A and B are shown apart, each in its own frame.
Chain A
Amino acid sequence: MVVKPDSASFPPPNAQPHASWETRGFWEGAGRGELVLQWCTECSAVQHKPRGLCVDCLSDEGLVHFVASGEGTVHSFTVTEQNQAKGFVDVCPYIMAYIRLAEGPRILSAITECDPDSVAIGSSVRAAFVAQERTDEEAFAVPVFHLC
């Protein structure tokens, strides 16, 4: 499910992803409420972040996108209490985290809509998707994670 943010929500409105042709699949997938990863049908590697070829075998022929489960566990996290950057000043404290996805790779993200003290390394999380107001035509959303 893709949710519309209210004014105080995370990520702040000025922190929006922009895509290259290599990363477009990821951000468009998020816009549909899907966590999209890349899988190489030639060497079976699953890679994140997305690239124009599989860097394990350097093949671009076998690389395909697939919809991941959106499930994972907290690998590590920090509650950021100070970030002077525009937008983030207003959302501190926020929880930035590395999530170990069920499909293997680690992804940098945020854990939202919970008390920071309730997050622990190893906590099970599930992807959620935040669609930001954009001035361009892109139908992107930002994957974040919620505690299960």
Chain B
Amino acid sequence: MVQNGFPQNVAIAGVYEHPSRFSPNKTEFQIMAESAKGALDDAGLTRNDVDGLFGASMSMGLMGIVDLAEYLDLYPDYLDGTNIGGSSFVAHVSHAAAAINAGLCNVALVLYGSTAASNSMAIGTGGSGGSKNPDVAFSTPYGMTTVGSYAMYAKLHMETFGTTSEQLAEIAVTMRKHAALNPLAKMRTPISIDDVLSSRMISRPLHLLDCCIISDGGGAIVVTSAERARDLRKTPVSILGSSEAVQHQGTGYNDLLTIAAKQSGEVAFGQAGVSREDIDLAMIYDSFTITVLATLENLGFCEPGEGGDFVSNAGIALGSKLPVNPDGGGMSSNHPGMRGIFLVIEAVKQLRNECEARQVSGAEIALAHGTGGTIGDKHSGATLILGIDR
């Protein structure tokens, strides 16, 4: 574990969530560019101030970050196209903080855009077609899907700890309740635990309503030094801790129930010097209900196996000790494939007290944890702890 005073005096100065949930007439880069304008306006900066460019998307591959720089006609001093799945943007904020602390750039722009919904992309349930890649030969013949991997995690969790489908359903119900308070959310009609349990089975034990939705969307984050942020338009949100980790099959022996969040969370909490009780709200990647439960346990908000009880009886709803995803999350607000950026954006807006009906009152310290890839198989995790001084 590395703890040498990082991060030091770095802040998020601007954020923007693209309001669109369905944009058939836009491209990924267009959504990113519109988001860039939104976040720069939010900060009171212009494109000429940007000297660090960070970005990832479902289609950006080799040279993708260079393509993005060309689209935006930017000439930054620092480029980072790290793509570790949905957690990428949480990691980008961490990398931006490191680059700023090292003096490699001063104003970092983090971008995401996606047209997953208008492309009718089957993100979670389209696994294992006829790939000729030897690297995937150990999953291709078996019909591995994203949801299937999470389902095997859920099944093992249920067997090990007695976690129930009702407890998982409560997470989906809470996310929908929150979404009803978010005018931008895609799914706002309330649902019950019975609705989740009676929705069609996708991969046992996960039902349709245990899964996130698929939308278009995008967003942007501006990271800069605390010193620079102080003179900008909005109250700076300080980066108190940030770390990333991976978990995978290794050589076939790793504990399936231990996820990357355990490692990244420990480091981030250590950097921030805060305890779990100090966190006023948590933005947790909710690709599936089980993702939230697994992440809460692995971040140490409760003991392994206690996640089911923790989320029950509105345990993570607004008004509880630890409100999770007040925006409605990926289950009900938006999920364009790589949701990590929205975790950071909502955390910043909450700390700036801009969230109206879904505002966590008096929120001063927030945590965001992104998961990329598939829990139950190989995945990345990135944890960010943010704070605001009033």
Contacts and interface: CB of A to CB of B under 8 A. Distances in A.
Given A48-B252, A78-B155, A121-B155, A84 B125 contact: yes
A126 interface: no
Given A11-B141, A86-B130, A108-B142, A78 B252 contact: no
Interface size class of A (residues with CB under 8 A): 35 or more
Contact of B137 (A27, A88, A116): A27
B72 interface: no
Interface stretch (B1-9, B58-66, B143-151, B326-334): B143-151
B120 to A, nearest CB: 10
Given A85-B127, A86-B130, A108-B142, A19 B253 contact: no
A17 to B, nearest CB: 4
Interface stretch (B200-208, B216-224, B338-346, B381-389): B200-208
A96 B141 contact: no
A106 B252 contact: yes
A110 B143 contact: yes
Given A15-B129, A83-B127, A86-B130, A48 B142 contact: no
B256 A75 contact: yes
B374 to A, nearest CB: 12
A90 B187 CA distance: 31
Contacts of B144: 96, 108
B379 to A, nearest CB: 15
Interface string B298-340: 0000000000000000000000000000000000000000000
A98 B148 CA distance: 11
B152 A98 contact: yes
A65 to B, nearest CB: 15
Contact of B152 (A19, A76, A86, A142): A76
A23 B136 CA distance: 11
A80 B138 contact: no
B137 A83 contact: no
A77 B144 CA distance: 11
A2 interface: no
A62 interface: no
Contact of B133 (A11, A18, A85): A18
B129 A85 contact: yes
Interface in A36-60: 45-49, 55-56
Interface string B98-136: 000000000000000000000000100111111111110
A106 B253 contact: yes
A14 interface: yes
A10 B142 CA distance: 8
A15 B143 CA distance: 8
A60 to B, nearest CB: 15
A69 interface: no
A106 B249 contact: yes
A77 B148 CA distance: 9
A147 interface: no
B155 A77 contact: yes
B129 A78 contact: no
A1 B205 CA distance: 33
Interface in A74-104: 75-88, 91, 94, 96-98, 101, 104
Given A78-B203, A104-B252, A105-B253, A14 B130 contact: yes
Nearest to B132: A18
A15 B128 contact: yes
B277 interface: no
Interface string A101-125: 1001111111000001000010000
13 contacts: A11-B142, A17-B140, A18-B133, A23-B134, A81-B201, A82-B201, A83-B125, A83-B126, A83-B148, A96-B142, A96-B152, A108-B144, A109-B142
Q: Which 7 A-B pairs have the closest CB atoms?
A: A105-B252, A78-B151, A17-B137, A47-B251, A20-B134, A76-B156, A14-B130
Given A12-B143, A84-B125, 7 more contacts: A11-B142, A16-B140, A27-B137, A78-B155, A96-B143, A108-B138, A110-B143
